[in-house]
C-alpha cells in the first residue's frame, strides 16, 4: 500500500498525546486491578497496561503513572497482584480508577502467598514478587515474577476496554464519555 492509499493522513512528529491515546485505544485489552500493600495499608488501581513477558522465568509487567498513589506501595511492599476483571466488574474498574479510589477493605479479598490482597471475585489473578522497575517516561514499568496464580471464576467473561469504553464481550463497549481520559 502506498501512502496515498491510506484513508487518513499518517501523523508524523511531534505525536500529540491525545492522538496517541486515541490510536492506542483501538488496541482492545482486558482490564485489571493491580493490588499491593498489606491489609492495613493495601491499595488498588485499575490498569490495562498489563502484559505477560516470559514463561521461564514466569514474568509479567504493567506500567504505572509516576503520580499514582500505588507506586510507593508497590515499591515498599516488593510485591503486587494482577486481578483480571470479569464482565460483571465494570463498577469495580471505575471504583479503582478515580483519584478517590475505592478501599480494598470494601471489596471481597483474601491474602495471597506474598501477603498482598487478591480480589476474590476476579476472573483470575497472578500474585507477583517485584523483580525490576524501569523508567518508562511518565510511567514506571514494574516487572514481577509470578509466584502464585488462580482462576476463581472459571466460566466468567472478561471485562474489555476499547476506544476508551468498558464493556463485556457480549455487548459493545459503550458509554457517553470515555471512562479513561488520561
Ligand X SMILES: Cc1cc2nc3c(=O)[nH]c(=O)nc-3n(C[C@H](O)[C@H](O)[C@H](O)COP(=O)(O)O)c2cc1C
What residue ranges bind ligand X (CB under 6 A)? 31, 45-49, 63-65, 68-70, 93, 96-97, 99, 101, 161, 179-180
Using the minimum distance from each CB to ligand X, give the nearer residue, 38 or 68: 68
- Residue 134, exposed/middle/buried by CB under 10 A (0-12, 13-18, 19+)? exposed
The set of cell numbers assigned to 7 is: 484513508
Using the minimum distance from each CB to ligand X, give the nearer residue, 155 or 160: 160
Q: Is 47 helix (H, G, I), strand (E, B) or coil?
A: strand
Residue 48's φ and ψ, nearest 5 degrees, are: -115, 5
Q: What is the closest distance, in whole angstroms, from the C-beta atom of residue 136 to ligand X in the complex?
A: 10
Residue 168's φ and ψ, nearest 5 degrees, are: -100, 170
| Spatial strand order in the sheet of 165-168 | 29-30, 159-162, 165-168
Q: What is the closest distance, in whole angstroms, from the C-beta atom of residue 45 to ligand X in the complex?
A: 4
Using the minimum distance from each CB to ligand X, give the nearer residue, 59 or 179: 179
Using the minimum distance from each CB to ligand X, give the nearer residue, 71 or 146: 71
Q: What is the closest distance, in whole angstroms, from the C-beta atom of residue 171 to ligand X in the complex?
A: 16
Using the minimum distance from each CB to ligand X, give the nearer residue, 5 or 95: 95
Decide: 147 and 127 in contact? Cβ < 8 Å: yes
Q: What is the closest distance, in whole angstroms, from the C-beta atom of residue 139 to ligand X in the complex?
A: 6
Residue 161's φ and ψ, nearest 5 degrees, are: -130, 125
| Spatial strand order in the sheet of 79-84 | 43-47, 32-36, 79-84, 124-136, 139-150, 59-65, 51-54
Q: What is the closest distance, in whole angstroms, from the C-beta atom of residue 180 to ligand X in the complex?
A: 4
Amino acid at each position: 500500500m502506498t501512502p496515498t492509499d491510506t484513508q487518513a493522513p499518517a501523523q508524523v512528529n511531534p505525536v500529540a498525546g491525545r492522538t496517541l491515546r486515541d490510536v492506542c485505544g483501538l488496541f482492545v485489552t482486558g482490564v485489571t486491578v493491580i493490588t499491593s500493600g498489606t491489609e492495613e495499608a493495601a491499595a488498588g488501581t485499575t490498569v490495562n497496561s498489563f502484559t505477560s513477558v516470559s514463561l521461564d522465568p514466569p514474568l509479567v509487567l504493567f506500567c504505572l503513572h509516576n503520580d499514582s498513589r500505588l507506586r510507593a506501595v508497590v515499591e515498599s511492599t516488593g510485591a503486587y497482584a494482577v486481578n483480571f476483571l470479569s464482565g460483571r466488574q465494570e463498577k469495580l474498574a471505575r471504583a479503582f480508577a478515580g483519584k478517590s479510589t475505592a478501599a480494598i477493605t470494601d471489596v471481597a479479598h483474601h491474602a495471597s502467598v506474598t501477603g498482598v490482597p487478591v480480589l476474590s471475585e476476579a476472573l483470575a489473578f497472578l500474585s507477583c514478587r517485584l523483580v525490576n522497575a524501569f523508567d518508562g517516561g511518565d510511567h514506571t514499568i514494574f516487572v514481577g515474577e509470578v509466584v502464585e496464580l488462580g482462576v476463581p471464576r472459571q466460566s466468567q467473561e472478561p471485562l474489555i476496554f476499547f476506544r476508551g469504553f468498558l464493556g463485556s464481550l457480549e455487548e459493545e463497549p459503550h458509554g457517553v464519555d470515555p471512562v479513561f481520559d488520561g
